[in-house]
Protein backbone atom coordinates (compact mmCIF):
# COMPACT_ATOMS: atom_id res chain seq x y z
CA UNK A 1 0.00 0.00 0.00
CA UNK A 2 1.19 3.52 -0.80
CA UNK A 3 2.24 5.68 2.14
CA UNK A 4 -0.41 8.09 3.25
CA UNK A 5 0.83 9.55 6.52
CA UNK A 6 4.23 11.17 6.22
CA UNK A 7 6.46 12.87 8.77
CA UNK A 8 8.09 15.93 7.16
CA UNK A 9 11.16 17.01 9.15
CA UNK A 10 12.56 20.50 8.61
CA UNK A 11 9.03 21.68 7.88
CA UNK A 12 9.74 25.28 8.96
CA UNK A 13 12.57 25.65 6.40
CA UNK A 14 12.46 26.85 2.82
CA UNK A 15 12.02 23.48 1.14
CA UNK A 16 9.84 22.20 3.98
CA UNK A 17 7.46 25.13 3.55
CA UNK A 18 7.27 24.51 -0.22
CA UNK A 19 6.65 20.76 0.20
CA UNK A 20 4.15 21.34 2.95
CA UNK A 21 2.13 23.33 0.44
CA UNK A 22 2.49 20.86 -2.44
CA UNK A 23 2.50 17.30 -1.03
CA UNK A 24 -1.06 17.29 0.39
CA UNK A 25 -2.44 17.45 -3.17
CA UNK A 26 -0.88 13.98 -3.72
CA UNK A 27 -3.10 12.69 -0.92
CA UNK A 28 -0.62 12.72 1.94
CA UNK A 29 -1.47 13.66 5.48
CA UNK A 30 1.59 15.41 6.86
CA UNK A 31 2.98 15.50 10.36
CA UNK A 32 5.43 18.39 10.62
CA UNK A 33 8.58 18.53 12.75
CA UNK A 34 11.17 21.25 13.18
CA UNK A 35 13.29 22.70 15.97
CA UNK A 36 11.86 26.08 14.97
CA UNK A 37 8.12 26.53 15.51
CA UNK A 38 6.15 25.57 12.39
CA UNK A 39 3.83 28.46 11.67
CA UNK A 40 0.30 27.89 10.37
CA UNK A 41 0.14 28.13 6.58
CA UNK A 42 -3.10 29.35 5.05
CA UNK A 43 -4.50 27.55 2.01
CA UNK A 44 -4.98 29.45 -1.22
CA UNK A 45 -8.57 29.95 -0.07
CA UNK A 46 -7.37 31.33 3.28
CA UNK A 47 -8.12 28.25 5.39
CA UNK A 48 -5.44 26.64 7.52
CA UNK A 49 -4.23 23.11 6.72
CA UNK A 50 -5.21 20.48 9.26
CA UNK A 51 -1.66 19.52 10.21
CA UNK A 52 -0.08 18.08 13.29
CA UNK A 53 3.06 20.00 14.27
CA UNK A 54 5.89 18.99 16.59
CA UNK A 55 8.62 21.35 17.82
CA UNK A 56 11.63 19.17 18.56
CA UNK A 57 15.37 18.93 17.99
CA UNK A 58 16.86 15.97 16.13
CA UNK A 59 18.94 15.45 19.29
CA UNK A 60 15.77 14.51 21.22
CA UNK A 61 15.45 10.79 20.62
CA UNK A 62 12.30 10.38 22.70
CA UNK A 63 10.58 13.12 20.72
CA UNK A 64 11.71 11.56 17.42
CA UNK A 65 10.33 8.19 18.43
CA UNK A 66 6.99 9.73 19.19
CA UNK A 67 7.10 11.77 15.96
CA UNK A 68 7.60 8.74 13.70
CA UNK A 69 5.13 6.50 15.56
CA UNK A 70 2.36 5.43 13.19
CA UNK A 71 3.62 7.19 10.04
CA UNK A 72 4.08 5.27 6.77
CA UNK A 73 7.19 7.18 5.70
CA UNK A 74 9.50 10.06 6.58
CA UNK A 75 10.70 12.87 4.33
CA UNK A 76 13.84 14.00 6.14
CA UNK A 77 14.74 17.60 5.35
CA UNK A 78 15.76 18.83 8.82
CA UNK A 79 19.33 19.84 9.43
CA UNK A 80 21.89 22.50 8.70
CA UNK A 81 21.57 23.32 5.00
CA UNK A 82 24.84 25.22 4.45
CA UNK A 83 28.42 24.97 5.68
CA UNK A 84 29.00 25.32 9.44
CA UNK A 85 31.65 24.42 12.02
CA UNK A 86 32.16 20.66 12.17
CA UNK A 87 30.71 20.35 15.69
CA UNK A 88 27.40 21.84 14.55
CA UNK A 89 27.23 19.65 11.45
CA UNK A 90 28.09 16.64 13.60
CA UNK A 91 25.24 17.29 15.99
CA UNK A 92 22.44 18.29 13.60
CA UNK A 93 23.21 16.38 10.40
CA UNK A 94 25.28 13.36 11.40
CA UNK A 95 24.00 12.48 14.88
CA UNK A 96 20.59 13.94 14.04
CA UNK A 97 20.15 11.73 10.98
CA UNK A 98 21.37 8.72 12.96
CA UNK A 99 18.83 9.51 15.70
CA UNK A 100 16.09 9.72 13.11
CA UNK A 101 16.97 6.35 11.55
CA UNK A 102 17.08 4.76 15.00
CA UNK A 103 13.59 6.08 15.72
CA UNK A 104 12.44 4.79 12.32
CA UNK A 105 13.91 1.37 13.06
CA UNK A 106 12.45 1.20 16.56
CA UNK A 107 8.97 2.17 15.35
CA UNK A 108 8.98 -0.04 12.25
CA UNK A 109 8.69 2.70 9.61
CA UNK A 110 9.47 1.22 6.18
CA UNK A 111 10.56 4.16 4.00
CA UNK A 112 12.64 7.33 4.26
CA UNK A 113 13.25 10.00 1.63
CA UNK A 114 16.54 11.66 2.55
CA UNK A 115 17.43 15.18 1.42
CA UNK A 116 20.98 14.62 0.27
CA UNK A 117 22.72 17.30 -1.77
CA UNK A 118 24.80 17.92 -4.85
CA UNK A 119 27.48 19.00 -2.35
CA UNK A 120 28.14 15.30 -1.62
CA UNK A 121 29.79 15.32 -5.07
CA UNK A 122 30.64 19.03 -5.05
CA UNK A 123 34.25 18.72 -6.22
CA UNK A 124 33.22 16.80 -9.34
CA UNK A 125 34.20 18.95 -12.35
CA UNK A 126 31.18 20.42 -14.05
CA UNK A 127 30.57 18.85 -17.46
CA UNK A 128 31.59 21.07 -20.40
CA UNK A 129 29.96 20.99 -23.79
CA UNK A 130 29.98 17.44 -25.18
CA UNK A 131 30.92 15.80 -21.85
CA UNK A 132 28.68 12.98 -20.60
CA UNK A 133 26.23 13.69 -17.78
CA UNK A 134 27.52 12.84 -14.29
CA UNK A 135 26.32 9.36 -13.34
CA UNK A 136 24.73 8.63 -9.99
CA UNK A 137 27.58 6.26 -9.08
CA UNK A 138 30.30 8.86 -9.60
CA UNK A 139 32.73 8.81 -6.63
CA UNK A 140 31.59 11.11 -3.86
CA UNK A 141 33.68 14.27 -3.48
CA UNK A 142 32.12 16.35 -0.70
CA UNK A 143 33.00 20.02 -0.92
CA UNK A 144 32.35 20.99 2.73
CA UNK A 145 31.65 19.42 6.14
CA UNK A 146 28.04 19.97 5.05
CA UNK A 147 28.57 17.87 1.91
CA UNK A 148 30.39 15.30 4.01
CA UNK A 149 27.32 14.99 6.26
CA UNK A 150 25.19 14.22 3.19
CA UNK A 151 27.71 11.60 2.12
CA UNK A 152 27.37 10.10 5.62
CA UNK A 153 23.58 10.19 5.35
CA UNK A 154 23.70 8.21 2.10
CA UNK A 155 25.95 5.59 3.71
CA UNK A 156 23.73 5.46 6.78
CA UNK A 157 20.74 4.86 4.52
CA UNK A 158 22.60 2.01 2.79
CA UNK A 159 23.44 0.44 6.17
CA UNK A 160 19.84 0.63 7.38
CA UNK A 161 18.69 -1.00 4.14
CA UNK A 162 21.27 -3.80 4.22
CA UNK A 163 21.00 -4.45 7.94
CA UNK A 164 17.40 -3.56 8.78
CA UNK A 165 15.48 -3.57 5.49
CA UNK A 166 14.50 0.10 5.81
CA UNK A 167 14.17 1.60 2.33
CA UNK A 168 15.54 5.03 1.44
CA UNK A 169 15.63 7.20 -1.62
CA UNK A 170 18.53 9.65 -1.21
CA UNK A 171 17.79 12.70 -3.33
CA UNK A 172 20.89 14.72 -4.22
CA UNK A 173 19.00 17.96 -4.58
CA UNK A 174 20.47 20.60 -6.87
CA UNK A 175 18.77 23.90 -5.97
CA UNK A 176 15.09 23.81 -5.09
CA UNK A 177 13.81 27.36 -4.92
CA UNK A 178 10.82 29.05 -6.56
CA UNK A 179 13.03 30.36 -9.41
CA UNK A 180 16.65 29.95 -10.51
CA UNK A 181 18.61 33.05 -9.49
CA UNK A 182 22.12 32.27 -10.80
CA UNK A 183 23.61 30.95 -14.03
CA UNK A 184 24.77 27.85 -12.15
CA UNK A 185 21.18 27.21 -11.10
CA UNK A 186 20.19 26.97 -14.77
CA UNK A 187 21.95 23.57 -14.62
CA UNK A 188 20.98 22.36 -11.15
CA UNK A 189 17.54 23.90 -10.49
CA UNK A 190 14.61 21.79 -9.40
CA UNK A 191 11.30 23.61 -9.53
CA UNK A 192 9.20 23.16 -6.40
CA UNK A 193 6.52 21.38 -8.49
CA UNK A 194 9.14 18.93 -9.81
CA UNK A 195 10.43 18.55 -6.24
CA UNK A 196 6.98 17.43 -5.13
CA UNK A 197 6.77 15.07 -8.15
CA UNK A 198 10.12 13.56 -7.23
CA UNK A 199 9.31 13.18 -3.52
CA UNK A 200 5.99 11.55 -4.48
CA UNK A 201 7.81 9.12 -6.79
CA UNK A 202 10.36 8.40 -4.04
CA UNK A 203 7.56 7.71 -1.55
CA UNK A 204 5.60 5.38 -3.82
CA UNK A 205 8.01 3.50 -6.11
CA UNK A 206 8.30 -0.16 -5.20
CA UNK A 207 11.45 -2.05 -4.29
CA UNK A 208 13.78 0.92 -3.99
CA UNK A 209 16.14 -0.63 -1.42
CA UNK A 210 18.55 2.26 -1.12
CA UNK A 211 18.43 4.28 -4.32
CA UNK A 212 20.39 7.47 -4.98
CA UNK A 213 18.95 9.97 -7.43
CA UNK A 214 19.70 13.52 -8.52
CA UNK A 215 16.96 16.04 -7.89
CA UNK A 216 16.60 18.51 -10.73
CA UNK A 217 14.12 19.61 -13.33
CA UNK A 218 14.56 18.61 -16.98
CA UNK A 219 16.94 21.52 -17.53
CA UNK A 220 18.41 22.10 -20.97
CA UNK A 221 21.77 22.75 -19.24
CA UNK A 222 21.53 19.79 -16.83
CA UNK A 223 24.83 18.41 -15.46
CA UNK A 224 23.76 15.02 -14.12
CA UNK A 225 21.90 11.94 -15.16
CA UNK A 226 18.27 11.75 -14.02
CA UNK A 227 17.75 8.15 -15.14
CA UNK A 228 17.66 6.66 -11.61
CA UNK A 229 15.05 9.27 -10.69
CA UNK A 230 13.04 8.54 -13.83
CA UNK A 231 13.21 4.83 -12.98
CA UNK A 232 11.18 5.65 -9.86
CA UNK A 233 8.47 7.14 -12.06
CA UNK A 234 9.65 10.76 -11.82
CA UNK A 235 8.71 12.76 -14.90
CA UNK A 236 10.04 16.30 -14.55
CA UNK A 237 7.86 18.92 -16.23
CA UNK A 238 9.99 22.04 -15.88
CA UNK A 239 13.15 23.44 -17.47
CA UNK A 240 15.12 26.48 -16.25
CA UNK A 241 15.87 27.61 -19.82
CA UNK A 242 13.22 30.36 -19.96
CA UNK A 243 15.23 32.14 -17.23
CA UNK A 244 18.53 31.80 -19.11
CA UNK A 245 18.52 34.91 -21.25
CA UNK A 246 17.93 37.27 -18.33
CA UNK A 247 20.38 35.53 -15.95
CA UNK A 248 23.18 35.29 -18.53
CA UNK A 249 22.65 38.95 -19.52
CA UNK A 250 22.95 39.96 -15.85
CA UNK A 251 25.74 37.62 -14.72
CA UNK A 252 27.54 36.45 -17.85
CA UNK A 253 28.18 32.82 -18.77
CA UNK A 254 30.03 30.49 -16.38
CA UNK A 255 33.69 31.51 -16.64
CA UNK A 256 35.98 28.53 -17.34
CA UNK A 257 38.84 30.32 -15.53
CA UNK A 258 36.86 31.13 -12.38
CA UNK A 259 37.38 28.43 -9.71
CA UNK A 260 33.86 29.19 -8.41
CA UNK A 261 32.56 27.78 -11.69
CA UNK A 262 34.88 24.78 -12.08
CA UNK A 263 32.95 22.17 -10.10
CA UNK A 264 29.32 21.26 -9.62
CA UNK A 265 29.38 22.57 -6.02
CA UNK A 266 30.04 26.09 -7.33
CA UNK A 267 31.17 28.54 -4.66
CA UNK A 268 30.76 25.88 -1.93
CA UNK A 269 34.12 24.57 -3.24
CA UNK A 270 35.86 27.91 -2.73
CA UNK A 271 33.98 30.16 -0.34
CA UNK A 272 31.01 28.28 1.06
CA UNK A 273 28.03 30.18 2.45
CA UNK A 274 27.98 29.76 6.23
CA UNK A 275 24.94 28.74 8.29
CA UNK A 276 23.94 31.87 10.18
CA UNK A 277 22.91 30.39 13.56
Q: Does 118 sit near ligand 15L (CB under 6 A)?
A: yes
Size of the site for ligand NAI (CB under 6 A): 23
Burial of 46 (0-12, 13-18, 19+ CB in 10 A): exposed
Which residues pair with residue 78 across a beta bridge?
Answer: none
Q: Does 81 sit near ligand 15L (CB under 6 A)?
A: yes
Q: Does 10 sit near ligand NAI (CB under 6 A)?
A: yes
Q: Does 191 sit near ligand NAI (CB under 6 A)?
A: no
Closer CB to ligand 15L, residue 160 or residue 268? Answer: 268
Q: What span, in angstroms and rounded, lies between the C-alpha atoms of 177 and 200?
A: 18
Residue of 13, 20, 10, 101 whose CA lies nearest to 64: 101
- Contact region with ligand 15L (CB under 6 A), list: 40-48, 111-119, 214-222, 223-231: 111-119
The C-alpha angle 79, 81, 82, rounded to 5 degrees, equals: 135
- Contact region with ligand 15L (CB under 6 A), list: 55-63, 104-112, 113-121, 237-245: 113-121
Q: How far is CA 72 from the centre of its chain?
A: 19
Q: Does 96 sit near ligand NAI (CB under 6 A)?
A: yes
Q: Does 269 sit near ligand NAI (CB under 6 A)?
A: no
Helices first, then strands: H and E counts in the chain: 9, 7
Q: Does 109 sit near ligand NAI (CB under 6 A)?
A: no
**Strand 73-76 relative to strand 5-9, pairing:** parallel
DSSP character string of 91-103: IIIIIHHHHHHHH
Q: Does 115 sit near ligand NAI (CB under 6 A)?
A: yes
Sign of CA dihedral 152, 158, 159, 165: positive
Which residue in the set 26, 29, 57, 230 belongs to the binding site for ligand NAI (CB under 6 A)?
A: 57
Q: What span, in angstroms and rounded, lies between the C-alpha atoms of 142 and 139?
A: 10
Q: Are 168 and 161 in contact (CB under 8 A)?
A: yes
Q: What span, in angstroms and rounded, lies between the C-alpha atoms of 134 and 142?
A: 15
Closer CB to ligand 15L, residue 3 or residue 174? Answer: 174
The answer to whether 101 is a known catalytic residue is: no
Minimum gap (Å) between residue 82 Cβ and ligand 15L: 6
Catalytic residue among 101, 146, 160, 243: 146
Q: Does 16 sit near ligand NAI (CB under 6 A)?
A: yes
Closer CB to ligand NAI, residue 55 or residue 158? Answer: 55
Q: Which residues are at the interface with ligand 15L (CB under 6 A)?
A: 81-82, 117-119, 175
Q: Which residues are at the interface with ligand NAI (CB under 6 A)?
A: 10, 12-16, 34-36, 57-58, 77-81, 92, 96, 115, 117, 173, 175-176
Give the residue numbers annotated as catalytic, written as ranges.
146
Amino acid sequence: PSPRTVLLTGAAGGLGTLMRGLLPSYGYTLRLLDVAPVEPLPDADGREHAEETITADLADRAALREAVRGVDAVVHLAGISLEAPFEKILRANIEGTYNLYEAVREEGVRRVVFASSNHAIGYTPRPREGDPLIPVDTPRRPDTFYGLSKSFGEDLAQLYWDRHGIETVSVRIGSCFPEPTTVRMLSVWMSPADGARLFHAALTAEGVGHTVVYGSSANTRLWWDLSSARALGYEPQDDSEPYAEKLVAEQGDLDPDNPDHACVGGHFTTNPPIWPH
